[in-house]
Amino acid sequence: MASPRDRAPVAERVEELLAAGGPLPIVAAGLPVLRQGTEPYDGQLAPALLDRFVEALRATMHAAPGVGLAAPQVGVALRIAVIEDPAPVPEEVALARGRVPQPFRVLVNPSYEPVGAGRAAFFEGCLSVPGWQAVVARHTEVRLRGQDERGRAVDEVFTGWPARIVQHETDHLDGVLYLDRAELRSLSTNEAVAARWGQPTPRAAAEALGFELP
């Protein structure tokens, strides 16, 4: 377990962030905290402080808005992330992408492994890379292991878009950005995606921009 000396700097950092009130500032690509990986959560935050931090992550995710947020995205190198997706998309899009509503949940010390060999590619964005999206091929089904904010074991299989969210947020905890896995020929501004590539799948983008889909 972390010693009291190890715990203090992390707890102090979180207290400083929370003291400002409101949504937390989101770290943009280029800062080391997004690339250095995270330390496992092992009680570095007292239970009440952990609860406040989780609620701040949730509020920040909603305000952005996004469907997931990892602790390093607010400058805290702990292996904690939150996800939530109301899935407010047309039925055609939901069916093509396997996007179903996900309730709010906290992932503590998560790791994932693929289930089967299936992969799917879709445009994906990131709150730490504002203004851009790119096509990323990811596992269509993954098994997630870890804990929740109360230390209860999590061992669950996610499919479709929820599996994509889990992979994206867990990658953040390993210092990996979605651009590391993206087809860079697909890189597009949010405006370009809205104007040209809003189809349920990125097939038209692949043909026009010259990249392959799995």
Binding residue numbers: 126, 168, 172
- Give the integer Cα–Cα distance in Å for 198 and 8: 46
8 A C-beta contact, residue 160 and residue 98 = yes
Reported as a pLDDT band with limits 50, 70 and 90, residue 142 is: very high
Q: What is the CATH number of domain 4-209?
A: 3.90.45.10
Task: Output the pLDDT for position 8.
Answer: 65
Binding residue numbers for Fe cation: 126, 168, 172
Smallest Cα–Cα separation from 16: which of 75, 79, 71, 69?
75
Query: What value does the mean pLDDT take over residues 195-206?
Result: 97
* Residues facing residue 82 across a β-bridge: 69, 106
75 secondary structure, DSSP code: T
**Catalytic entry in 169, 191, 207, 212:** 169
Cβ contacts of 48 within 8 Å, gap of 6 or more: none
**pLDDT of 2-48, one tens digit each?**
444 445 699 999 999 999 999 999 999 999 999 999 999 999 999 99
8 A C-beta contact, residue 11 and residue 44 = yes
pLDDT, greater one: 127 or 8: 127
- Is 169 assigned a catalytic role? yes
- Give the integer Cα–Cα distance in Å for 132 and 13: 29
Please report, rounded to a whole number, the percentage of residues in the chain having pLDDT higher than 90.
Answer: 96
**pLDDT of 74-123, one tens digit each?**
999 999 999 999 999 999 999 999 999 999 999 999 999 999 999 999 99
Full DSSP string of 121-157 = EEEEE-TTSTTEEEEEEEESEEEEEEE-TTS-EEEEE
Task: Output the pLDDT for position 7.
Answer: 55
Task: Output the pLDDT for position 4.
Answer: 44
